[in-house]
Amino acid sequence: MRIPRIKESGEGFYHSMSRVVDRRMVLDDKEKERFRQLMRNAAAFSGVDVLTHTILDNHFHLLLHVPERQPVDDFEFSRRLTALYGQKYAGRVSREIVSLRAEGQNEAADELKAPYIKRMYDLSAYMKSVKQRFTQSFNTRHGRKGTLWEERFKSILVEGSQGTISSLQGVYSSCPLPPHHVRTHLWLTFDDRSTAATVAVRPHTAK
């Protein structure tokens, strides 16, 4: 039985990671750059902020900021759709929305947007998009089938002041450690004296 993930109801900071199946060393420099570009495209679509990241030969770590949900108007919707799906696909969807609006069918236009909007500002949807899209791309290039990742992504909810998060961002990018080491390191190190706040982390992994 899958364990439900712990996620903040609104804004949240997360350390998320995933590993290649069988821990194979398949992410060379070119693959890492492809992953990085897809990661950024998915972030532009979802509204998730990638504060910092580390991509190693067989796994990756992301420090993510998931903001509160915000309204997404048609112009912003088109921009986000283009970032992930490309101009051709986004243009077709956007023209359909414009046409529906012109006919006074605002409810139908909103219904067309709804499945995409649902995936925005959502940690799980963001990670699913990144992992699935990279798998499809990788498999096409290397003539393989099946999943590239060994299991569902792991994620840790990071709690603390903004100053502490900023400190974590710097150390995280220069010290790529496995999740259990990161948890220990956070508890021992990140004490933001200016606000008397200490980072707390709550693991919420599921296998």
DSSP string, 71-99: ---HHHHHHHHHHHH-HHHHHHHHHHHHH
Residue 83 has what pLDDT?
A: 97
Residue 207, judged by CB atoms within 10 A of its CB (0-12, 13-18, 19+), counts as: exposed
pLDDT at 155 (0 to 100):
87
Q: Which residues contact 157 (CB under 8 A, 6 or more apart)?
A: 6, 7, 8, 12, 13, 14, 201, 202, 204
- Which residues are registered as beta bridge partners of 66? 12
Does domain 12-68+121-203 sit in CATH 3.30.70.1290? Answer: yes
- What is the pLDDT at residue 172? 54
Blockwise average pLDDT, block size 10, the chain, 207 residues: 51 91 93 96 96 90 93 97 97 98 98 97 96 96 93 82 56 48 36 33 40
What are the sequence ranges of the domains in the chain?
12-68+121-203, 74-118
140: its two tokens: 């096409």
Q: Answer whether 0.85 is exceeded by the pTM.
A: no
